[in-house]
Structures are given as structure tokens and as C-alpha cells.
Structure 1
Amino acid sequence: MPLSSDLPKFVPRVDFLHYLDDYVINFKISIRYNRYVNDASLDVNNGKWRVIVKDSTLNVDEIYVADYLVVATGENCDAYIPMINGLENFEGEYLHCSKYLNGRSWYDKNVLVVGSGNSGMEIAYDLSIVIKSPVHYFTKEMVYVGMSILKYISTDKVDKLMLTMSKLKYGDMSKYGLVRPKEGPFALKLSGGHTPTIDVGCIKKIKKGKVKVYPAIANIKKGRIIEFEDGKSGEFDVIVFATGYKTNVQKWLKDYKELFNENGMPKTCYPNHWKGRNRIYCAGFAKNGLMGIASDAQKIANDICSFTINARKLPVTA
């Protein structure tokens, strides 16, 4: 179902939520809310998938049995906080950015945002605090151009174009402590799933000195002192980890080796990653953004459809 032609190219959040509601109504999708999958496994006796789900509202277990299992939890599921030497002794407050609502309670406090992706840059802009480099940064229009031409031009050429546009727009940011990764933005996306960072105004604040940039954390000393890799240190009251997420497939999918490796990612590389044996599929693990998710969904739907059509054609035996 396409988006309304009346909507702008960059769809506002509220309008996109309305689109999702309309999508559910149009296709009569029955969504089960407030449920958590505790266990999913293949029943070798009948070849069906058995999924045990906890209804958190009623505090009861539910069991679903299906011919097909689509793992659509994606590569970003559980909040990830890296192991940092001394973090357990930090006397201030620390949290993952998924818990961040606003910074009202941190007025007049020194806050460190670890991570300079989209979440980190937006929080830094919101609070006028410090962030950790390195990072690629672009306007949303630049990212749109890059994603559009990736279909026709190689990744390295698109990356060179993106970097040229960014340098023309922002100039040399290394004097402010903001350095770029060695890999290009879309090469990083393919290799590690890191989405190019869209500047929402944080770069301007960095240039004005309202947001400071630090290198990676070396260790955390007793109290609230944080040492960085360049030898400098600072005292902080709060650490916000905008350090991304990781998949949790291994926790609940007992037969994950049908499709996934030990890290919870598909064993087969893109574009052949989406299907495993025994009718198990995955969507959102291609490290290729919304375009990859759309491709996965279409392939999975077509494959399941072919199964059901062929099943109807089977002769009925007496």
C-alpha cells in the first residue's frame, strides 16, 4: 500500500504513524500486543514451528503452532552497553539512550553521550553536551540522494560523492575534534550496520562550542572521572550510551542454527540470507536499511505464497 501522494518526500512522524494504522485496517492485520516470545522451536514430529508467548497483561502463556516462522525482530533489538573499564564503579547515573525521554532532570549537570550516530547526535543537540567521535554526518537530502543512486552506482563511488557533499557543506570538522571513520558511510552500513548520521543541527552547535567532542573512553576512575584515549579527562554526572542494539535471536529461538550463526545474524550473506531450512525466514537482518527490509518481505511473501499455491495443486489421495 503506497503512501499518500499528498505527503512530502520526508514523511513527518505523525503522518507515518497514521499510515501504519491505515495499513493495519486495510489488510485486516490482527496484532497481539503486550506479548513476549519466550521460546520458539521446530517440532520434529509434525514439522511445524511451536512458539511459546507470554501475555504480560494477563500473565499467562500462549502457544502458537505455525507452518512458517518469520523472524522479523531485526538486527537491532536489545539495547547494547559496551564493557568499559571502571563503569561498575561510576558514582553518577548511566543509561542506554532507549531509556532517554528528555534532559529536564539533568539541568546544570555534565552529561556525556557515548556514540555519535543518529540517536547520539540528536540527544547531544537536545542537551548541548558532549559526544564521542568518529562519525559520518550528512543532511537528510544527501542521504536520500545516496540511497537513490546506490541502485545504479557502486558503493565506493556513492561514498566518495557523499563525502564530497558533506565536506562542501560542513568544511573541515577535525579542528573541532570530529573525525570521520576510515570506511565510507554506506560501506560501513553494509559491513557493520551503522546507518549514516543525519545532522539535525548538532554540527552548528559543535562549531559554536556548545557541544564538545571527545575521543573514545579509556576508563572510568573512582567517582565520576572519565579518562579518554587522548589522555584528557573530565568529570561527568550522567553517561548516556547511544551505542546501538544487538539481536537477541539466540535467547528465544531454540533452533536458530537453521538460519542464524552464534552472533544471531544470518549464516548466509546478503542477498541470500533471508531463507533457511524447514520454512524459517528472517527480515531486517541484511544491514541494508528499509530497502533491505522491503526486499526481504517481498521475497518471503512470494516464497510462502508459492508453497501454498503448490500445496493446493497436489492431488487428493483416497
Structure 2
Amino acid sequence: MKCCLREIEGKQAHDPIFIENMKFSSSLSLPSSRCLYVPGAVIVGAGPSGLATAACLKEKGVPSVILERSNCIASLWQLKTYDRLRLHLPKQFCELPLMGFPGEFPTYPSKQQFVDYLESYARKFGIEPRFDETVSKAEYDGTMGFWLVRSVGKKGEATEYVCRWLVVATGENAEALTPEMEGMGEFSGDVRHTSSYKSGEEFRGKRVLVVGCGNSGMEVCLDLCNHNAKPSLVVRDTVHVLPREMLGISTFGLSMWLLKWLPLRLVDRFLLVVSRLMLGDTARFGLARPELGPLELKNLSGKTPVLDVGTLAKIKSGDIKVRPSIKSLKRHAVEFANGKTENFDAIILATGYKSIVPSWLKEKDMFSEKDGYPRRPFPNGWKGEHGLYAVGFTKRGLLGTSMDAMKIAQDIQRCWKEEKLNFG
């Protein structure tokens, strides 16, 4: 069977090839499933990471197939983000490889503009993901020397893909992270994750508790204010709040430029001094800063500083109340760690997302079973063994995604050419 697959691979076909009556040494195969050989890479996930990798591979002449569990590209952006969302960084830092944003787009594109950009990107490179295909299991068959990827369709039909290269592009935000809280089942109000939040319009006049003080939590609070809701913000930990722009340019862009000339800690000190001048002492309003500077903390833990877009002014004015950690939930109220109790109509969980790679990828060396991230830190977490790759796990946004996508495509192209010589 291995020789048969090698002969098929030598043809360099660019479309999946149906293979009948295959019997694998792996337990992955089921008699009722159909089998497709992919003469290139299988990419799991049709978000920005998967699209970028597919485009880079195509530019190098390597075919790929994208498997996507939802019914659209960038499903997180299209289906699970709030209406007012914009890119937090200037567009030049959020471009995917080989294609920039339209010149008429603003510095910080809206959610819909970013989705339009991704759809144009897919059209330009002829990327057509296989939608409604949820990968349930993927493992490497050492006897064959191929990856076996099993997907389940919308109607329960199973398909097995056989490929030399597997790219995990499901990213850091595959599934909403919902914390356990005492009394969660007792609370009578609306409790939802930000992935189900669209607009503050439906909360007009209501008392809403937002749990989580990252960029999403801060923006949801601002959106609630703008719709005349009464939001409070749970701040469980220290947080760096920086102005989105400094000295007339983006804080992120300024930081990247300064790092070319100055050591990281000196840049951190500069950012904190300017932030203090522009925003004041945030600790006075319940937003104490970590001991480590924003860039050093980002490098060590991946924790992103909050880029303020107006929320801090609402906190200063008292329109947004800052509250400590939650101790427990009651029927109509929340008891906080300081012993105080307050009534709320709804709770929004801005508690982030998690990777679910270990639930389907049967591999223990590259990905940690604890958090679903590559074990090796950036910039070395993109490549594993036997043709396994990861993109979108850098904790460095779309810039990190683009870097990894280009490296993956270059590496697969090298292997592609070697095998073409050996079997062509």
C-alpha cells in the first residue's frame, strides 16, 4: 500500500484522489468511510492562519485542502464577535502574506472590513475550504509514512484524508473558555460568553457585570455604556492599560520601532512613562499594573496589554464600576471577594478562549496536552515531526501568523521538491 501511495504522489495531482478498498495499519480507518489521498497538505481550520498557509503553499506550487468545521471562513470573526469590534492594531500589522489591505480601508478596519478582506484573499488565491467538516481524529501512521485525518460531515458522514503534511491552524481561540463559579446554576439572569454577545442594545437600562479586563472585556463595557446599560467590570488581576496611540502613531508601531534601537526594558519604561502622562495612575481606578513591563510580560506569558479606545474615561467618570473577584452567584446578585453583594441582570464572560488540539490530534510531542499549544515557544513552535506544523499559536496576533505561514510553506516546498525528485 505504501508503494501504491508513493506512485500516486509521484503524479503530483492537485486534487484529492479517491482511494478504494484501502486498509490502514492505523485504527483510524472505518469500513463505512470514504478515503481521499491529498497530494499536498491538509490544513485544519479556515481562519486567517489556514488561509495564509494555503495561499503561501499555492504560491510555491504546493496543493492543499482546508477542512473547516463551520460553514464559512474566519468563523470566529463572522459568528462569534461583537458588532463594534475593530482590529486593535493598525492594518499594516494585520496583513496576511502576499496581499495587503485595500488602500481605502481605515487605519483600524472594522470587523466587516476584515471579513471582506479575508474573503477577497480566499478568492484571489482560489482557496475553497471544505466546510462543515469537523476533524475528529488525526494521527501519523509510521508504517505508511502518512498522516491519516478523519473528518465528520454535517450529516454524520465520515471521510478519511491521507496526506504527507498536516497543518494545525485551529489557533488559540477554538473554543470559548468559561470559568466555573459557585452558584452559576442559581443565578436567574442572562449569563453568556462574549462569543455570544453582539451589541449592548439588548441590555439597555440593565445592570451588567463583565468578567475579564482584557481588550474584549474593556470594549464590551464601553459598548454597554454607549447603549445606556449600567456595566461593572470584574478585575481579577493586574493589567497594563496603554493608549492606542502615542505621539500621533500607534503604540504598537512605536514599540516595534523603538525595539530596533533600544533594549526591551527601556522601551517598557518609556511606554509606562508616556502612559502615566496620558492616562494617569490607573491603579487609582482599580487597574493596578503588573511588576513586569507590558512588552516583557507579553514575551514571557503572552498576556496582551489593553489598548484603550475610550473605556478608561468611562471608568474615571464612574459610568463603569470596577469590582473585585467574584466569590459566588446568588439568584439575583453577585457576592464579591471583598464581602459586598450587588444585584445584576446579566453577566458577560470576557474570559477568552482555549485551544482544543489535544481533543483530536493524537500526538504528544509537539502539542502540550495541558493547554493545546506547541511545547516549544515562539519562534520555534511552528514545526513538529513527520510533516506536522502549527500556525496561529504564537500569541503574537496576525503578524506571528504570517511569519509562521511563510516558514511552513517554504519548508513543505523543500520536502515537496525532494520527494518529486525521488518519485517523479
Normalising by structure 2, we get a TM-score of: 0.69
CA gap of 1:166–1:126, structure 2 versus 1, over 3 A, is same
CA gap of 1:206–1:254, structure 2 versus 1, over 3 A, is same
Deviates more, 1:161-170 or 1:130-139: 130-139
Deviates more, 1:68-77 or 1:78-87: 78-87
Equivalent runs, 1:1-318 vs 2, <5 Å:
1-3=98-100, 4-56=102-154, 58-128=155-225, 129-133=231-235, 134-140=238-244, 141-150=250-259, 153-217=262-326, 219-255=327-363, 257-263=364-370, 264-314=372-422
CA gap of 1:19–1:180, structure 2 versus 1, over 3 A, is same
CA gap of 1:15–1:99, structure 2 versus 1, over 3 A, is closer
CA displacement at 1:268 relative to structure 2: 1.7
**Residue type of the partner of 1:196?**
P
CA displacement at 1:73 relative to structure 2: 1.2
- Consecutive unaligned residues of structure 1, counting only runs of 5 or more, are none
CA gap of 1:314–1:88, structure 2 versus 1, over 3 A, is same
CA displacement at 1:214 relative to structure 2: 1.1
SS at match of 1:314: helix
**1: distance between equivalents of 2:352 and 2:198?**
16
Normalising by structure 1, we get a TM-score of: 0.90
**Residue type of the partner of 1:167?**
R
**Residue type of the partner of 1:311?**
E
**2: distance between equivalents of 1:299 and 1:151?**
22
**2: distance between equivalents of 1:176 and 1:315?**
66
Deviates more, 1:284-293 or 1:207-216: 284-293
SS at match of 1:20: helix
**1: distance between equivalents of 2:182 and 2:300?**
27
**2: distance between equivalents of 1:310 and 1:275?**
18
CA displacement at 1:164 relative to structure 2: 1.8
**2: distance between equivalents of 1:14 and 1:105?**
21
Instruction: List per-residue Cα deviations over 1:219-241 (Å, max 9, x = no partner).
Output: 11432332223333312121111
Deviates more, 1:295-304 or 1:166-175: 166-175
Percent identity (aligned):
39
How large is the Cα RMSD of the aligned pairs? 2.1
CA displacement at 1:251 relative to structure 2: 0.7
Instruction: List per-residue Cα deviations over 1:183-227 (Å, max 9, x = no partner).
Output: 32223323332222122211111111111111222x114323322
